[in-house]
Structure 1
Amino acid sequence: MSRIARAVLHEWRNVVVDPCRGLRERGPLGVSLAVVACVAVIGLHEFQQTAAGAGVVRVLSEVRADQPVWLSLLRTPVSVFVPAVDLSAWGGLPRLFLAFALAELLFGRVRTLVVAYAVTLAGTLGARVMIALGPDRLGLPAEAAHTVDTGASAAIVGLFAYTSVALRSPLLFLAAVVPTVSGSIAEPNLAGREHLVAVTVALILGVVLHRRGGGPGGRRGGGRREVARCQCPLPVSKAVDREVGHDREAGRGRELGRGGS
């Protein structure tokens, strides 16, 4: 088998076979976080279209660089599940579900949420740094401080990048991350810069957390585990001690009998 065929087979097993096996073993609860994320995005998007809901969603999730840092930190968890106003929430649902479901089946709910929040928060704080640097230093203009930060899209591309590094899956990276990175480079606006920061942080997290072994260390049920040998002596029962002592005494008796003869 050629090297390319082995690489494709390896990625097929990691990206498709193992998650499907986990879904079969755990059932629908295995992707419960992905389902909740999709329902939250749909619900917040529809609520945002109403007159009363627009103000509520803005107060709970709108993050901008001209806000105090503490306010952005409070709103960032909700902003992960709020789509951009000018984009269709239904069009991004397949990518949202796939990113969260794949990460949830492979790494668990807690790590999936931590990675999604970490990359989103990194993009938010990175935007503040780039605005402070200004356009003359490869940053962003001051007007970008009034632009609403991207939420769900940064979490999606960050989860894909993290999963690609953890699984050693270049094809997944090419299909799910490279198009977003290319668009962010082509349009160096606030959202594009936040996507680049999110991908960078996700790559660093993937390398740091999965640098040992050939597969993802956080995967449930994945990979072979080495069984450590016991280094301390096990306690022996009294019955075994009596049998061993009896055999030793009988052996000494036979040796004495041979010596006397």
Structure 2
Amino acid sequence: MSNEDITLTAGDAEVTVQPGNGGRVGGLRVGGVELLRQGERFGCFPMVPWCGRTRDGRFRNGGTVHQMPLNSPPHAIHGTVRDGAWRVARTSADAAVITYDLVEPWPWPGRVTHQLDLTPDSLTLTMAVEAHDSSFPAQIGWHPWFNRNLGGEDVRVDFAPTWQEERGEDHLPTGNRIEPRPGPWDDCFGMPDGVDVTLTWPGQLELKVGSPEEWVVVYDEQEAAVCVEPQTGPPDGLNSRPRLVTPLEPLEATMTWAWRRL
């Protein structure tokens, strides 16, 4: 199948999936209003096989140190799959499944599967990483760029995290957990009962970001957009909290956006 854009529709919701551009969600329109920042690096891209920054691009698997390209010097950021073209496994009017085979510079063979399910008032994204023959550490996350403004007041971000990861000068967690601080943020937060963040565009739309995962990065330092990124571990998690993917046990994660008109 080609990797041309896929359009999903349900009610007055429309989602554009871009297999050829890193498997990202290129757009989410509700009643004709685009919620995601437009542009080939924006929308909402999958972060696999790691999320956020990996310190100096290095991590261990057992006794071996592996080096990733420094695509955000001095660190490696957001994984490798957003730079590749994905295959289309199947599509319907309101759902799609796309896959990506892990290749260099990632040292191990594996497959990422991304499933997208649209209803008139929600979009659920489910991702899995499978190992073919060797086990390896990995993370899964999503990096959406929500438009700060939909033509009215700026968006409000509401959430009640249990802790904030203290951020060092290198933008990486120090390992200390601190009381959550007010924004602006480029920070990772802990929500042990699951990610639950509400975005409200006053008088227009409310969107809830939910996930069973307990980690979320919130980034609102850009004028145009706000990012709310559920993930399976904190930044530099390949080093601090590796999740092992084995041939018998894939790593899976899910995220739902649910919206309603105000």
TM-score (norm 1): 0.25
Answer 1 or 2: which has greater helix percent: 1
**Which has the higher Rg, Structure 1 or Structure 2?**
1
TM-score (norm 2): 0.25
